[in-house]
Amino acid sequence: MRFFYFTFVCSWLIPYFAVAQSKIDKTNHSLTGYIRDAITKQPIQGASVFITENRRGTNTSRDGFFVISLPAGTYNVKFTHVGFHAQTHTITLHKTVLTEILLQDDSKDLDEVTVTTEAPDRNVKKVELGVTQMTIKTIKRIPAFMGEADVVRSLLLLPGVTTVGEGAPGINVRGGSTDQNLVLMDDAPIFNSSHLMGFFSVFNPDIVRDVTLNRGGIAPNMGGRAASVLDIRVKEPETEKITVNGGIGVVASRLGIEGPIMKKKLSFLLAGRASFNDFLFKLMPRSIRDTKANFYDVTTKLKFQPNEKHTVTFTGYNSHDSFKLASDSLSTVEVNASSTLFEYRTLNGTLKWNYSINNRLNLATTAIYSQYRPETSVPDSSNAFRLSSEIRHRQLKADLSFTATETHQFQGGFSLIDYYLLPNKLIPGFQSNVLAKTLPVERAYELAVYVQDEWKVNEAVSIVGGIRYSQFLNRGPASVPIYEEGVPLQPETTTSSTTYNKGHIFHKTGGVEPRLAVRWTVGEGQSIKAGYNRMRQYIQQITNTTAALPISRWKLSDSFIKPQIADQWSVGYFKNTAGNAIEASAEVYYKTVQNAIDYKDGANLTLNPTPETELLQGSGKAYGLETQLKKNKGHWIGWVSYTYSRVLYTINGPFPQERVNNGQQYPANFDKPHTLNAMTTFRPNNRVNISFNFTYSTGRPVTQPYARARINGIIVPIYINRNQQRIPDYHRLDFAVEFNQDPVRSDPAKKKRYERSWVFSIYNVYARKNAYSVFFKLNSASLNDGYKLSVFGSAFPSLTYNFKF
């Protein structure tokens, strides 16, 4: 009776579980295990496991883990992955079998796929669309500016990813602003992904395992930003022996150490990178000669695996930038000083416990701390001040995945984020005229729960569907202004304010975020995919500049600033031919954004206690076509992609001063319709690697003066509508050659003890003077008053030396 009752409840709650249980009890056993790289012992994601006898298969997860349930018997199991030699094992299954498969790198075969380590047919088979994974191997092959392999810059070669300018911080994904990307480094959000104001990214290439950009088809377990999720995974520490690696470059030098502390149980990784390039500026023109720019970052990872069931990892990251400009050339900061120092720090920590409860259930619990502290300071005695701000993101999340049957895989979980945001704090220096000012701290919780199911409907059709519900709760202490009704929000129209006590929830917002992706295999190596997702964003970086500065203010959504809500529909066609050596894809997307943010004319947000009076919210829409053709095998590999994309805003408030361009639709700052990227690598032998990279894009929109007027003796340019002109188109060719002194041997036993390589690269080979900005300065001596500023107006050669022993 009790047994019956149990079964009844079970089948009510999780029928698939019950069905699965009964099946296994009769005939099935689980074949499980890990697939790893034979040399590095890194888990291989997306490797395929194929049972020759019944033509069934599966792919490994992120940890290289796979599970397949089979009737008892003996099987020939084939393990394959691109870039590795395939292996076939004969496995007898009478009980649950746990196995470890070590695949060997096939780079000596020159058949290596350097573009991706995804499964060869992943392009066609995976359900999600708009998701691209790049390994660090690929990133390192791309010719880099000043020889510094760059995770974020390399993404600019992908379709749908653009930037407002060379050296601008952040990326724009499918018409999203830079703060609409959730950048995660081992689950911890990174609020500023660039070093030196945007020239380099904050990720040390030596510690990155892979980078996944989700620009469409974002899974329900991720959320909080409107445009994309950039997921950066730190590599697992080596478990076999202590290894030291590093590199010496023009911009920065790197050193890392990793290895076991307790054999096979506890291992560590510690890597640092620092720049010593002040003297670079000494060689530059007088205007920037006194510039000082330095950064360092340190990454650490500890992995503790007492047994196969439990894995605990800790990832720590700390970075610091200091950028001193001899004079203040950043007028938005509104300081008159002989020098300005910008500093920013990131401190992140992630503690993750992965508990593999049984073959079907896995629970991952993660605690995250992320802190970002930018600061601007002026040392001059009479005007001395420090303007600082701080974001603290504390998060707890749990994700439970459950492989119910061959056809259903469920996942569910929750996340709780506690935000602490200090918008601006102005601290006067000693004997300074500046008045101290601190804006009140903003505090809020962001809660989210989700469920999803990956359902293989039949051989041809698979669906990943789910729902996320998020809720944002602003809490006290706070003082919220009340504005006069029926007039535009202005600091003068404040009538009174309401004060809330500590912990009091004074504002709530939230809603459901449905996510759906469908794949339909239409023929051999061909599929059609479609997807829809909704994303809600409750924290934004507010700045009235084209590119956000690392010191730009962040703002939580509140009673006045509504969360940005993006709905995206996309459909694509994918085809692989020539044994997966050639991949082709075309995707179309259409996206709408509710509550898109722009600013009133001349808005000033720094130290502004009422930013809502300067912000305007309206609607945005973005659409585009992304096409890509990729060759994965042979001496020549590479890809070509062309993207057409638009992003248009309409800000039409009830009052004239709450409209942009009179309420007409206008292109956003990062609207760049045409983009063409091409990247190719030639590998004549296993010592030399030659890469080229070409990029072309339409110039970004700018606002140019229509006329000039003389007002109080000052010549003032007259602007009418925003973003009606464009700067000249952008194009550039880069080149890199890598020379390996100690080429990789096929036999790991004979592998040399050390690896050394030289990378010579030229950025902007034909020295095009691409426009960074176009501006007007009246010059009585010449008739010409329009100027074009090129930041990288010449060819930049560089040499980097890398070693590993």
Partner 1 sequence: MKNKLKSHRLLTLIRITPLLLFFSGLVSSCLSPYQPDTQSIGRAVVVEGMITDQPGPYFVNLTQTADYTYSGLNLLVTGATVTLSDNLGNQEILKEATPGSYQTAANGIRGIAGRSYKITIRTSAGKQYESALELLKAAPPITKLSSEYKYNPAAFSNDLRNYWEVYLDTKDPETPGDYYRWVWKNYEMTPACQVSPGLNADGAYTGIPCCTACWNINQCYSNCINISSDAAINGKAISRQYILSVPFTSRSIYYVEVEQQSISPGAYRFFSSVQKLVNNTGGLFDSAPATVGGNMKCTSDPDEVVYGYFGAAGVSVLPLRVDRTKDAVGVPNGKVIQLDNLAACIPCMNSINRTPTKPRFWDQ
CB atoms within 10 A of CB 276: 11
- 667 forms bridges with which residues in the sheet? 648
**Complex with partner 1: residue 748 or 793, whichever CB lies closer:** 793
437 binds partner 1 (CB under 8 A): yes
Positions in 364-393 near partner 1 (CB under 8 A): 382
Residue 114 Cβ, how far from partner 1 at the closest point, in Å? 26
**Complex with partner 1: residue 590 or 706, whichever CB lies closer:** 706
433 binds partner 1 (CB under 8 A): yes
SS3 22: helix
Q: Determine the interface stretch with partner 1 among 260-268, 300-308, 681-689, 722-730 (rule: CB under 8 A).
A: 722-730
Please pick, from the candidates 604, 687, 751, 752, the single residue that binds partner 1 as defined by CB under 8 A.
604
- 245 forms bridges with which residues in the sheet? 256, 804
**Complex with partner 1: residue 355 or 758, whichever CB lies closer:** 758
By C-alpha distance, which of 387, 295, 297 is closest to 335?
Answer: 387
Report in angstroms the alpha-carbon separations of 544 from 30, 178, 489, 547: 57, 13, 18, 9
Tokens of 7: 């079964």
**Complex with partner 1: residue 156 or 368, whichever CB lies closer:** 156
CA 540 to chain centre: 16
Binding mask 313-332 for partner 1 (x = CB under 8 A): -----------------xxx
129 binds partner 1 (CB under 8 A): no
Please pick, from the candidates 57, 477, 488, 797, the single residue that binds partner 1 as defined by CB under 8 A.
797
**Complex with partner 1: residue 390 or 614, whichever CB lies closer:** 614
Q: Position of tokens 């100690």?
A: 742
Please pick, from the candidates 54, 715, 729, 751, the single residue that binds partner 1 as defined by CB under 8 A.
715
Residue 116 Cβ, how far from partner 1 at the closest point, in Å? 32
Phi–psi pair at 618, nearest 5 degrees: -150, -150
280 binds partner 1 (CB under 8 A): yes
Binding mask 516-545 for partner 1 (x = CB under 8 A): ----------------------------xx
710 binds partner 1 (CB under 8 A): yes
Residue 470 Cβ, how far from partner 1 at the closest point, in Å? 31
By C-alpha distance, which of 63, 627, 561, 10 is closest to 354?
Answer: 63
Helices 15-26 and 2-13 sit at what angle, rounded to 10 degrees? 120
Tokens of 293: 């720019």
Query: Can you give the three-state secondary structure of 362-400, one letter per residue?
Result: EEEEEEEEEEEEEEEEECCCCCCEEEEEEEEEEEEEEEE
By C-alpha distance, which of 313, 515, 405 is closest to 22?
Answer: 405
- 567 forms bridges with which residues in the sheet? 534, 592
Task: Tell me if 533 sits within 8 A of 217, measured CB to CB.
Answer: yes
Binding mask 52-91 for partner 1 (x = CB under 8 A): ----------------------------------------
Positions in 479-508 near partner 1 (CB under 8 A): 491-492
Residue 90 Cβ, how far from partner 1 at the closest point, in Å? 44
Residue 732 Cβ, how far from partner 1 at the closest point, in Å? 14
Helix (H) or strand (E) holding 443: strand 442-456
**Complex with partner 1: residue 123 or 291, whichever CB lies closer:** 291
What is the distance between the alpha carbons of residues 699 and 692, in angstroms, rounded to a whole number?
22
Residues in the interface with partner 1 (CB under 8 A) total 83
Task: Tell me if 513 sits within 8 A of 503, measured CB to CB.
Answer: no
Positions in 726-765 near partner 1 (CB under 8 A): 728
Positions in 690-709 near partner 1 (CB under 8 A): 702-709
Q: Determine the interface stretch with partner 1 among 170-178, 264-272, 562-570, 784-792 (rule: CB under 8 A).
A: 784-792
What is the distance between the alpha carbons of residues 207 and 576, in angstroms, rounded to a whole number?
32
Tokens of 712: 């109080």
Positions in 559-588 near partner 1 (CB under 8 A): none
